[in-house]
Structures are given as C-alpha cells and as structure tokens.
Amino acid sequence: MRLWQNPASPFARKVRIVARETGLLPRIEEIAVMVSPVSPNADLAAHNPLVKIPALQMDDGKVIYDSTVICEYLDTLHTGVQVIPSDATRWEALRLQALCNGILEAAVLCRYEGFVRPEAYRWDGWVKGQFAKIRNGLDALASEAPAWGARFGIGQIGAACVLGYLDYRFANENWRSRAALASWYETVKDRASVVATMPA
C-alpha cells in the first residue's frame, strides 16, 4: 500500500500511528508530499480529487481517503486489538474521534490563516471563532481523559495528534493548564508509535 502524507499533518499522523499500533507499517510505503491549498501536488491530484492528505492506495490500486476512512480500512487488515471497536463502545470511540477531528480542522485552518493567507485578507474574528472551538474541545477532552485508562484506540490516537499538533504549531496555547489532559498525555507521549510520528 502507498500512503500520501506529510509529517506535519495531524490527520496523516493519525493514520501513521494506526499503521504502527496495528503492525501494518511494513506493508505501507509512506510518501511525503508537500500540500498547500494554493499549489496542489500533481501526483496526489491524480489520485485524490480533493488533493488532500492522507490518501491511501490499497493493494488493488484503488485509492481511499480521508483519515477516518483509512483508519477504518486498516483496522480490517489485522488480527490484533481493534483500534475502532465493533462492540457497544464503538459509537463513543467514533464520537471521540469526531471531536478530535473537529479540533484539528479548526487548528489547521488557523495555521493556514496565519501562514498561507496574505496578511491583508486575515480576519481576527474568524480566527477567534476557530480558537473557541479548539478550547471548548480541549475542555471536553480534559473532562473525558480520566476515564480512558490504558485504552489507546482511535479516540485517544486522535487526542494525541491534537496535543502534538498544538505543541508543534501553537506552542503558546497553554493546553497543559488542563491538568487531567496533561497527565494523560504523559502516559502516551513515549509510545513508540507516537515518538516515531512526532512532527519535527
């Protein structure tokens, strides 16, 4: 399989952590591509009309996206502990994944707003609205984290990607003021899959 990704992308990181947690990494070639909404990558565009990462080419040549679909697919390819449970806890896991995806979407939009959009076109009120989503989402994660125990499923993988991305791109955002979230992150930050995919 071939995975189009970028080491800075938290959505690609989610897939890369799942690939490592499930033992599937040896079957996946990770292809690093530069992505920008204003200068799309031609190779990726030929395989994903949205020109977004992550995208995965399966062994039959077909390409699937986005991170949620790819993680679900990878979880069908191994016999270890499911990352996405199929029992009654499934909906809670998928809801937590959606919460983390929403925080990440807001954070990536803020990154583009501050880095890609010309200064004259920036809109402070819009950025504040995105940061409200990020902070409300972090509050929700902090209230839920004490119940996670040792579980490292799709929701917790998403949370690790959220916190890693904030450290990487928004180091001034003091998310560690939420003590429950900070102490949970200490329990996962040294996992091999998390260390190997840390954005540098």
Binding site for ligand BEZ (CB under 6 A): 6, 8-9, 35, 108, 111, 169
To the nearest whole angstrom, how small is the minimum distance from the Cβ of residue 139 to ligand BEZ? 23
To the nearest whole angstrom, how small is the minimum distance from the Cβ of residue 107 to ligand BEZ? 8
To the nearest whole angstrom, how small is the minimum distance from the Cβ of residue 78 to ligand BEZ? 26
C-alpha 76/C-alpha 84 separation (Å) is: 10
**Element of type H or E holding 30:** strand 29-32
Of 36 and 183, CB closest to ligand BEZ: 36
* Locus of tokens 């803020």: 110
To the nearest whole angstrom, how small is the minimum distance from the Cβ of residue 169 to ligand BEZ? 5
> Phi/psi of residue 28, each to 5°?
-120, 130
Of 36 and 174, CB closest to ligand BEZ: 36
Of 41 and 97, CB closest to ligand BEZ: 41
Of 110 and 181, CB closest to ligand BEZ: 110
Q: Are strands 29-32 and 2-5 parallel, antiparallel or unpaired?
A: parallel
C-alpha 188/C-alpha 183 separation (Å) is: 9
Spell out the long-range contacts of 35-43 with Cβ–Cβ below 8 A and sequence spacing 24 or more. 35/6, 35/9, 36/116, 37/112, 37/116, 38/116, 41/4, 43/4
Give helix then strand counts, H and E, for the chain: 8, 4
To the nearest whole angstrom, how small is the minimum distance from the Cβ of residue 120 to ligand BEZ? 22
